Structures are given as C-alpha cells and as structure tokens.
Structure 1
Amino acid sequence: MKTYSSRTEVPINEKWNLADIYFEQSKWEEDYQVIEKMAGKLKASDGGIQDGHTLYQYLKLNEELSFRFSKVYAYAMLKVDEDTRDTSAQVFLDRAKLLSVKVSSATSFFMPYLLSLEKETLKGYISEEQGLAYFEEDLWESFRYKEHVLSKEQEEILSQLGEALSVPTHTFGMMNNADIKFGEVTDESGERVELTRGMYSKLIEDEDRDKRREAYKAYYKPYVQLKNSIASTLSAAIKNNVTLSRIRHYPSVLEKALFGDKVPKEVYENLIQTTKNNIGPLHQYTKIRKEKLKLDELRQYDMSVPLVSGVKPVIPYEEAFEIMCKALSPLGEDYIEILKEFKDRSYIDVRETPGKRSGAYNLGIYGVHPYILLNHRDDLDSLFTLVHECGHGVHSRLSSDHQPQITARYSIFVAEVASTVNEVLLINYLLNNEKDTAIRKHLINHFIDQFKGTFFTQVMFAEFEKKTHEMADKGLPLNVEVFNQTYEALFREYNGDEIVFDNEVKYGWSRIPHFYRPFYVYKYATGFASAIHLATQILDGDQETLHSYLEFLKSGSSDYPLELLKKTGVDLTTPDSIENSLKRFGKLVEEFSKI
C-alpha cells in the first residue's frame, strides 16, 4: 500500500473537489454575511406572523437560509477533515458553529408560536396562501406535537432546566472520553504502551489469546472501578427520560422516542421477540467459534478474533472500484453510472494522509452533491467501506435529485438500508467469484460477525433499554446490581451457554454511549434486517422489488419511514422481514460450518 506524507502527494482525482460548493473562499464569506442578515429578518418576525402570507414569507426565507447554511457549514467541516491540524480551516468551522447558534436563536420562537395556533387557524392560513401548499405537510407534521407541548410558561421552565437535565449524558461523556485511562498493555513489539480504544479494537482481534485477555482486562478495569458513578449517571438519564415523557403526556418513554418516526411500539417489540424466537443459529455460531479456536473455555475476549487467519488480499483502490461496479450491477446501469460519476468528478476523498480525519462517512449537500470521506488502505475492509459509503452517497444523490429541499433528507431510521444492501450484493459477488477456500471462509466469517454486531448486539441493547426504562417507570431502583443482573442475563440469552463469564461481562452496560440516547440503537437492527431482505429479493431476480427499491432511494423523507419501506415489500409491523433476514443468517452459519 502506498503511503502519503502529505496531501499534496495524493493524485488530484483521488481528492474531493470542494470548488463544487464554493469555487473561492470569498463566496463562502458572501454567503456567511447573507445568512447573518437573513437570521436578523427571521428574528424580527417574532410577533409579526399574523396570516397566511406572513407565515409563507417566514418559511420561504427560513428554507433559503437553510440551503445556504448547509453549504457554509459543510464547506468548513470538509476543509477541517482534510487536515485537522490546519488552524485556518478550524477558524472557518468555529465561525460556522457560531453562525449556527445565531440561526437557532433567531428561529427559536417559531415552533412554540406554531403550536400555539388553533387547528382551524392554521387551516385558514393554508387555504388563503397558495405558497403554503409546499410547506403544508411539514406544518402538519410539526403540529402533530401539539398535544405534547405545554403552556408557554411551562415550556420556558423546561427550557431553563435543559442544561441540568443533560448533566447525566454530559457527565458520562466526560468520564468516557476525557477521564477514563485504560493503563498499559504489551504491543506487537513487546513494548509497554498506553491502551487506546483504537488499539483495543485491534488487540481484541489478535490471534494471541494472552494479548486479547490482557487488552480485555485493561479495557474494562476503569469501567468496573467507576461502576457506581456510571450507574448513577445512567440511572439519572433513564429517570429523566421517564419524567419528561410523563410531563409531555406520552404513554411511555418508548412511545415518546418512536413518535417522530411514527413507529408503533409493536415494531420495537416485534423486533425483539422475533429475534429471540430465531436465536438458535447465533448459539450455533458460538459453538463453532469455540471449536474452531480449539478452546476448552470460550470467553468474551475470544468473541471478536477472526476464525480464518492469514487472509489479507491486497485490493488497490482502482480495482476495488471496479469490483464494486460489478458487484452492484444487479441494481442497474443507471446506478452504476452514478457511481462512476462519483469517481470521475472527484466526489470521493480516498487516501489516508497525516492529519486527515479517521474513519469514513458520506455527506449529502442539497443542491451540490454527496461528498465521501475514505481512508483507503487497499485491503478487504476498505473495499467494504467503499461499497458501504457509496450506498449512502447514491441514496443522498437520488433523494436530492428527485425531492424538493423540504423532503430531500432521509430519516436515520432508513439510513443504513442502502449501505447494507450494497454490502450484501458485494458479499454475494465475491463468494460467487472466489475460488480460494480460505478467502471464501474469511468472507462468510466477516459477514456473520457484521450481522452479529449490527443486528443481534443492537437488539440485545434495545431490550436492555426497554427493561431498564420499564423498571424506572414502575419506580423500581436502578443501581449497579440491577444493571449487572439485567445485562448479564440478556448477554447469556443472546449468546448462549458456551461462554464462560469473566467478572467483566456483566459490566458491559457501563461502556455504551448509545444508552444516553434512548431507544436509538434498534434502528441499526431494523435497517440491517430490511436491507438483507431487499438484497435477497433483488438477487433472486425479483424485478418488482428492484424497481420499488430504486424508487425508495429517490424518496428522501417524502413519507414516514415505515411507509417508505412498505412500498418495497418490507413490513416491519409483522415478523416476516425480520424472519427472512434471520434465515439468511442461519444459512451463512450453516455454510460456514460446512466449509
């Protein structure tokens, strides 16, 4: 793999072109000034919206501001991510963040104003102003929250309490990101080094079991030491969620969390129950893992090591892109043309360089195009990352091309569908074209582990959240012992009886930041299962599913996520799609055991 000591060494066609947003920085500055003036005008509308025309003028100006602001912020963020050490780029981002605060402040009056209107008044405004037809669905969507909004005085009190209510989340964030130190472990060269999270994710996959065990013990040690403090923050966060849902007149915390996507609680419950009804293949995989590793006792630090060693194919970026285009060909010529455009028109920033942000992401910018950040390392993982992010990219591109600005951005609920469909098509292509048994085993193992992490683990987390919030709702105590018992029982139920539990297993709850964003992780599982179902249908040659899937990619947020998925044949209110995906997992485990 070629390494680059600076960004200037990277070929121009492997760097994204930010000139598509602003061809010179003076244009960024111009938009910045315009947005400031627009924010002032919006602020001046407070108390001045009296009829349909003035409501339309406000909404029209606000949308224009949003369009410009998304470009201003994206440009600054992408510049920083090219090289996080670049102080001049950081100045741009700091100014963009400051502008965001100004805009939020200027528009903060609007939602309380809208929800203070009577339904008939809003109907009257919409009928008298033709321009409001464009905003009508969005207005009624906001109006859906009316029964959960309090009086102006009560809302102001809640607003003032906002900072205090966020203390548990903030405290855990500070402990987890700033205070926790994992101590020293032995690295590959035998030196004692400070353990980091990035290093842990590598060491827990190391073939040397002693290294895995040492890293595991070191990683969990500070969480166990801080168990009472972390239990206190998590308990407070959960109780805050329960209290707020009661204050806002929701039947439960779960229903409050699902309200925005208009998802009935039965979908959440169905996901958990259907998974548990089909848990057998996961238990089987745990047994296979113990056999393959030739262990008398399987422990948690043995659960991430790849079961196929020595498979490290070199896949240069150009080759990876060609493989992707061939693998995704079942999605049609138009889809592949869009992918080629991403490459030819420099939408993708490919190479790892000093100071560049780590990881990978897709950022869709309405009215411009998607930008994709990679840190490509010419290996199999990089190929999967490319295919994954391009799934997001095409979803962003098609939604922007076929939707007005107001409905172009898709919901988090469906965000992982396009990326996972691509990964399933890639796995299928590689397995169909790979003769090397070791690589085939590695591919199946990779996908099984991805399925386990993105689906089963997230469902387990989702059930933990449900159980602990129900306890809080009933006034039952939440402490270290309760969290330990709940988590340990779920871990055993999902992973089976083959694992010998170290003391650390039951503290798994203490290290999960997502638990401070209630009832969020289930979306990973529903998105993943939906994608498996769709990809399987497409690979079976179902043209109706292919057509409806491509239409789904163009739909943005033009309907609620469950309804968009139903149009593709995925109905998450029934067990069918989840069961179909779990059958696919069972077949993978069966094939892996035979190979």
Structure 2
Amino acid sequence: MATTYETRKDVPKEEKWDLTDLYESEDDWQKDLDDALTIANELQEYDGNINDGSSLLAYLKKQETLKYKLQHVFAYAMFLSDIDTRDSHAQQLQAKASQAAVKVNEATAFFMPYLLSLEEDTLKKYLQEETELDYFKDHLWKSFRYKPYVLSKEKEELLSQLGETLSAPADTYNMLNNADIQFGNVTDEDGSKVQMTRGMYAKRIEDEDRDVRKEAYFAYYKPYVELNNTIATNLAAEIKTNVTLAKIRGHDSALRESLFDDNVPTDVYDNLLASAKANVQPLHDYTAWRKEELGVTELRQYDLNVPLVPDMKVDISYDEAYDTMLKALAPLGEEYIAVLREFREQRYIDVRETPGKKSGAYNMGVYGVHPFVLLNHHDDLNSQFTLVHEMGHAMHSYFSSKHQPQITANYRIFVAEVASTVNEVLLIQYLLKETTDSKMRKYLLNHFIEQFKGTFFTQVMFADFEKQAHERAEAEKPLDANSLNELYESLFRTYHGPTLVFNDEVKYGWSRIPHFYRAFYVYQYATGFVSAIHIAMRILDGDEETLKNYMNFLRSGSEDFPLELLKKTGVDLTTAEPIENAMKMFSETVEEFKKA
C-alpha cells in the first residue's frame, strides 16, 4: 500500500478521521461557538457578584460547560486545518475559535484573583452552604495553594499589563530562531552551493559521509556563533525575569516557583541531576565505542548522530505495524488491547501523509468524544515506533476521560510521557525477543540507546544548565555570552566524557534550544522516561500488582499531584531508585550492543 497520496480523497476511508464524531455539520459547530460566546458574556456578569456558595456554584458550573464546548469547537477547527494546512476555510474556523478563546479568557480573568482574595474561612463557609460544590472542592483548594504568593489587586493588575513586555525575550527568540536565522551554505547533489535548512540539517548530520556531516555542522552553527552576544543577552533577560518574578511573589527561587504547580519539591530536581552524573559512565563508554565503530582518529560532535547500524529498510505495512503493536502491548491486559483494536476500527487515527497535512504526529483527547491521533505514517520501523508512542498518549486520554469527571480528566505534562514510553519499551523488548536477524537486533539496541541518550541524558544536561544559569542570576553573578558558553561547554564535557574532541562550536549549543524560554520544563522528559522504564520492566517480569496499579494510573487523569500518582505505581521519584534502575538497564544495553 502507498504511504503518501496525491490527494486526501485517495486515502482509504478507514485510515482517515471521522470528524462527524465531533460535529455532524459546520452549523452544529457554529452553534456551539455561539453558545460559548454567550456563556462567556454571562460569566463576566459574575465579576463582583460572587458572594455566597450558591453564586460560586453557578459560576463554576457555567464555566465547566463553557470549557466543554470551547474544547470541542477548538479541536474541530484545528483538526480540519491540520489535515490540510492550505485550506483557507479551515484557517478561518481556527481563527474564530482562537478569537473566542481570547474573549473567554478576558471574561473569566477576574475569577482567580477573586478566589485568592477570599479568607480561608469564607471559602469553607461557601463549601458548607452548597453540597454540590464538593465536585469542585479539590480544584478550589489546589488553586487556593497560590494564596501566599499572590500580590495585592493593584500589583497583580500591573503585572498583567506588563505580560506582553515580560514575554518579549521568548517572542524575540521565536522570531529570531524561526524567521531570521540564516544558515550557512552546503554543497548539493549537483556540486552547487545552497543555503542549508533545518530539514536538510536533520538528514545531513546523520549522513554516512563524514565530510557531508562536517559541512552541515558548521553551516548549522554559523548563525548561532555570529549572534552569540545577541542571543545571550536575550536569554539572560528571560532568566532574570524568571528570578525577579519569583522573588516578587515570595518564592525562594525561580526553580521552586516553576515546580510549585505540580507540587514537586526541588529535591526531586536535584536528585535527578545528581543521580545522572553519578551514573554517567555507561554514556562515556558508549561514546568511546562510537569512536571505535566509526573508525575515526578523533570523535567530533558531528559524529554523534550518524547511526552506528545503517538504517534498516524494512517494509512494515500499517496493518502489520498495528498488529505487532497489539502483540507487543499484550502484557498490559485484555481490556487495553480491546480498546486499542477499537481505535483502528472506529477511525480515531488519521494515518497517511497527504499534501498540506501538518507534519509530525500527536494525540489530542476530546472529553466526551474520544482521542484523535494524527500520524504521517510511512511503512517503516520509525513509523511503527511513532504509532506505538502516540497510542500510549491516546490510551491515557481514553482511560482518564472514561473514569474521571471533566474537571480531572486531563493529565499533567509531568506524567504525559509515561504512558507513551511504557509502550515504546514494551515494543522494543518484544522486537528484541522476536527477531532472529542479528543486524536487526543490533539496530534495535542502537535505537534504544539513542532514545535513552536523547530523552534522558540530553534533557538532564539541559536541566542542569537551566538550574545553574538561574542560580548565577539569583547570586547576581554575570550572565553573559562568555559565562553561558563556559557553562554549557563544561556540562557537555561532563555528560559526554573524555573521548569527544571539541570544536569551538560546541559551547554555543545552548543558544539553539527554544525550551530554555519555558523555564524548568525539560527535566520532565527525563523523569517520565525513567518512570516508564521502571513500570514497563516490572510488568514484563509478570508483576501483577504493578500492572494493576499502572492501569489505575492511566485512569487517574489529574485526580492527584503527579508524584503521588506515580508513587501508586511503585515509582518514587523522591528517591534515586527509579533513576538507578534505568541507568542499570542503559548500562546493560550498551554492553549488549558492543557484543552484538
């Protein structure tokens, strides 16, 4: 079967979304949009008029109805646009949905400052007056945690007015990195010099020809070297803003403020960094082995991405990939597999690449309907892993929506990658068990090692950089191009080991990372990854208690804070055990790979 099609009409019906699950017609969509705007206007009338349990309940019920309708409206418009980004009508619907979201935010902006202005006894009184408020009670108290860190009404309004100004460093970097960056030139197939693009770089940095990799590497870093002072000044402004806002609100550090929402103690963050550094030797061994495998005199940064096992050109049809997934995930139980079969049969997945379709892959759960998964599936091994990954997210969305009320159905980002990575670990262990091809086995081991390196070690290195950069700002130490370059280069040496011979460009690596404009976010990739390994390997060992607890985790949405939800599966991130277990697995995989 073809993997790309000239038009969407050519794609088999069973491999396309059925968006009538959301709305039978655009008229139905428009009705929900109109209703949402009407409710938003009604909610605005509550500003200054919530003074007892009854009015608080009325406001919260209307707000939940609004969220339900607006999510459906936004999802439908987004899905239509994503299946063909050239569709101007779909873009118009998406613009309408976005405009409605802005109006809703404006209409409800008063509520959080109002809630946090209440005395604790007053909120308790309202909760006693209306028993129906029990449904919202946990949500209200979780919001109330912010009370010690809320400023006076006048100061909050002032900060709100400064919102656009405070986000300027992130906006500036986004424009610079996506619109203005001009990469250097590389040689094309005809021997002509052409300007490199990000897409070209992603392919060329993995090319078997070292000269191609080297040329791409220097062309890619050229603008970051040239703009080093500008980007450093911009990131320093972002970091200092984070530090200043945390101090204004009464937090003892920017890190503590960032972790507050998930109720994660800073010890978890510090423990992650310390445990990774204490167990970094297997990564150093792998880097040294890479040098041997490539047969180079000096291992350089442009040698770190080329596959050590040439790409396995294996044809795997979508149906075959799906059936393999069902077998690989069988340890998760009959209910899980039955639901997974239903996803394919009920057209919850938009499978094929077509002209204009949004690139990449994602899952979006729509409460009251079902998850929608977008793929750009090619009949190969990478697509098989992407399928398994996204279906992990989708199953998490499905079970949480089925077992949770709307208010707690969405899971937090902290735990989002657990379900997807559990699936990936189960798939790779299944494929390693089933394959009889020695080259394929080596390829799979290398795939897992590289995934581990990228999702764990690289993200921990980024997290380390963020923490130390913010600590420098908090100590009022210089935060300029030289200090950021030195910090990043030092960390790169720490994590990659002595085998690597550094080009000067290595130290500029921090300047190409957009995640640094979303402070203390990336560490969650690493914690999610080690949590998933901990869970998956116990399930494969036949641990029925872990399986039962994991399925309960998938049903839990955000009914509790992330660390508590993970503890119920047997993963305690306040200890080093999950990280050390993952490190042991990584070390064993590296040793097996070297012998393969």
Task: Bin the TM-score by the shorter chain.
Answer: over 0.9
- Per the alignment, residue 325 of structure 2 pairs with 324
* Secondary structure of 1:313 counterpart: coil
Distance 2:312 2:86 in 1: 35
Alignment of 1:160-171 (within 5 A): 160-171=161-172
Distance 1:525 1:367 in 2: 31
- Per the alignment, residue 511 of structure 2 pairs with 510
- Per the alignment, residue 308 of structure 1 pairs with 309
- Per the alignment, residue 419 of structure 2 pairs with 418
Distance 1:94 1:343 in 2: 31
Larger deviation: 60-69 or 162-171?
162-171
* Secondary structure of 1:193 counterpart: strand
- Per the alignment, residue 48 of structure 1 pairs with 49
Q: Once the two structures are superposed, what CA deviation does each residue of 1:289-341 show, in whole Å capped at 9, x if it has no partner?
A: 00000010000010011000152111110110011000000101111111111
Distance 2:333 2:518 in 1: 38
- Per the alignment, residue 226 of structure 1 pairs with 227
Alignment of 1:510-529 (within 5 A): 510-529=511-530
Distance 1:3 1:115 in 2: 53
1:187 Cα offset (Å): 3.5
Instruction: Give the count of matched residue pairs.
Output: 595
1:116 Cα offset (Å): 0.5
- Per the alignment, residue 478 of structure 2 pairs with 477
Distance 1:411 1:189 in 2: 49
Contact 2:377 2:383 in 1 (8 A): yes
Distance 1:199 1:21 in 2: 38
Task: Sort the Cα spacing of 1:170 and 1:550 in 2 relative to 1 into closer, same or farther, 3 A.
Answer: same
- Per the alignment, residue 35 of structure 2 pairs with 34
* Secondary structure of 2:376 counterpart: strand
- Per the alignment, residue 406 of structure 2 pairs with 405
- Per the alignment, residue 565 of structure 2 pairs with 564
1:191 Cα offset (Å): 4.7
1:530 Cα offset (Å): 0.2
- Per the alignment, residue 135 of structure 1 pairs with 136
- Per the alignment, residue 212 of structure 1 pairs with 213
Distance 1:473 1:287 in 2: 37
Q: Once the two structures are superposed, what CA deviation does each residue of 1:11-66 show, in whole Å capped at 9, x if it has no partner?
A: 00000111000011110011011111100000011111110000000000000000
Distance 2:333 2:153 in 1: 53
- Per the alignment, residue 283 of structure 2 pairs with 282
- Per the alignment, residue 438 of structure 1 pairs with 439
Distance 2:31 2:161 in 1: 35
Distance 1:45 1:100 in 2: 18
Distance 1:458 1:112 in 2: 35
Contact 2:3 2:353 in 1 (8 A): no
Letter in 2 for 1:343: R
- Per the alignment, residue 149 of structure 1 pairs with 150
Question: Normalising by the residue count of structure 1, what TM-score does the alignment of the two structures yield?
Answer: 0.99
1:192 Cα offset (Å): 3.6
Query: Given the alignment of the two structures, is residue 108 of structure 1 paired with residue 109 of structure 2, yes or no?
Result: yes
Distance 1:545 1:120 in 2: 41
1:181 Cα offset (Å): 1.2
* Secondary structure of 1:135 counterpart: helix
Query: Given the alignment of the two structures, is residue 85 of structure 1 paired with residue 76 of structure 2, yes or no?
Result: no
Contact 2:3 2:352 in 1 (8 A): no
Q: Which runs of 5+ in 2 are unaligned?
A: none
Letter in 1 for 2:199: G
Task: Sort the Cα spacing of 1:440 and 1:189 in 2 relative to 1 into closer, same or farther, 3 A.
Answer: farther
Distance 1:200 1:450 in 2: 19
- Per the alignment, residue 175 of structure 2 pairs with 174
1:185 Cα offset (Å): 1.6
1:186 Cα offset (Å): 2.3
* Secondary structure of 1:134 counterpart: helix
1:163 Cα offset (Å): 1.2
1:189 Cα offset (Å): 5.5
Distance 1:376 1:2 in 2: 7
Distance 1:593 1:439 in 2: 14
Distance 1:194 1:55 in 2: 59
- Per the alignment, residue 187 of structure 1 pairs with 188
Q: Once the two structures are superposed, what CA deviation does each residue of 1:193-237 show, in whole Å capped at 9, x if it has no partner?
A: 332112211111111111111111010000100000000000000
- Per the alignment, residue 579 of structure 2 pairs with 578
Distance 2:359 2:123 in 1: 47
* Secondary structure of 1:351 counterpart: coil
Letter in 1 for 2:498: D
Distance 1:312 1:188 in 2: 22
Query: Given the alignment of the two structures, is residue 59 of structure 1 paired with residue 60 of structure 2, yes or no?
Result: yes
Contact 2:375 2:387 in 1 (8 A): yes
1:3 Cα offset (Å): 2.7
Q: Once the two structures are superposed, what CA deviation does each residue of 1:330-387 show, in whole Å capped at 9, x if it has no partner?
A: 1011111111111000000000000000000000000000000000010100000000
* Secondary structure of 2:350 counterpart: strand
Alignment of 1:227-246 (within 5 A): 227-246=228-247
| CA RMSD of superposed structures (Å) | 0.8
Task: Sort the Cα spacing of 1:54 and 1:583 in 2 relative to 1 into closer, same or farther, 3 A.
Answer: same
Distance 2:84 2:319 in 1: 24
Distance 1:590 1:183 in 2: 39
1:591 Cα offset (Å): 0.3
Distance 1:189 1:472 in 2: 49
- Per the alignment, residue 448 of structure 1 pairs with 449
Letter in 1 for 2:288: K
Distance 1:347 1:165 in 2: 40
Q: Once the two structures are superposed, what CA deviation does each residue of 1:38-96 show, in whole Å capped at 9, x if it has no partner?
A: 00000011111110000000000000000010000000000000000000100000000
Distance 1:520 1:153 in 2: 30
- Per the alignment, residue 343 of structure 1 pairs with 344
Query: Given the alignment of the two structures, is residue 387 of structure 1 paired with residue 388 of structure 2, yes or no?
Result: yes
Q: Once the two structures are superposed, what CA deviation does each residue of 1:108-136 show, in whole Å capped at 9, x if it has no partner?
A: 00001111100000000000111100000
Letter in 2 for 1:181: Q
Distance 1:202 1:455 in 2: 22
Letter in 2 for 1:380: L
- Per the alignment, residue 7 of structure 1 pairs with 8
Letter in 2 for 1:276: K
- Per the alignment, residue 458 of structure 1 pairs with 459
* Secondary structure of 2:375 counterpart: strand
Letter in 2 for 1:142: S
Distance 2:167 2:96 in 1: 25
Question: Normalising by the residue count of structure 2, what TM-score does the alignment of the two structures yield?
Answer: 0.99
Letter in 1 for 2:451: Q
Distance 2:289 2:191 in 1: 31
Distance 1:66 1:184 in 2: 48
Q: Once the two structures are superposed, what CA deviation does each residue of 1:235-284 show, in whole Å capped at 9, x if it has no partner?
A: 00000000000000001111000000000000000000011111110000
Distance 2:190 2:585 in 1: 41
Distance 1:536 1:3 in 2: 36
Q: Once the two structures are superposed, what CA deviation does each residue of 1:165-192 show, in whole Å capped at 9, x if it has no partner?
A: 1111111111001100113322355454
* Secondary structure of 2:492 counterpart: helix
Letter in 1 for 2:141: W
